[in-house]
Amino acid sequence: MRIISQKKIKDFYGLPQYEQAKIPLQQWYYTIRNRDYRSFAQILVDFGDTVREKGLYVFSIGEGKYKVAASIYFDTGCVYVRFVESASDRETLLDERDVKRTI
């Protein structure tokens, strides 16, 4: 898959309070980059706790400590990282960003 905006991932683990997120986020990045997912079911094989929420795929990273929210376009093989956050901030940030719900 082609991942757009690795910068958001690096910016997150570049913050002093989240530097321990670097290895789990890099592992997620390289796993996604080296796969060719064609469906949500295929993602669940590698990332079983991923959910689809408000039009985004939300990955639980680092034993649930961090979340990566991304738009995924299976037909083009693109993953757009929308935001990265700690699990404790997740609900607030999804609401603040007013992400549209798609069904």
Which residues make beta-bridge pairs with 58? 51, 69
How many angstroms separate the CA atoms of 27 and 42, rounded?
17
pTM over 0.75: yes
Interatomic CA distance for residues 10 and 14, integer angstroms: 6
pLDDT of 81 above 90: yes
Contact 82, 71 (CB under 8 A): yes
- For the chain, give the percent of residues with pLDDT over 90: 78
- Predicted confidence (pLDDT) per residue in 48-80, tens digit: 999 998 889 999 999 999 999 999 999 999 999
Average pLDDT of the segment spanning 93-99: 55
Query: Which helix (DSSP H) or strand (DSSP E) does residue 18 occupy?
Result: none
In the chain, what are the domains?
2-96 (3.30.2310)
The percentage of the chain sitting over the pLDDT mark of 70, rounded to a whole number, equals: 86
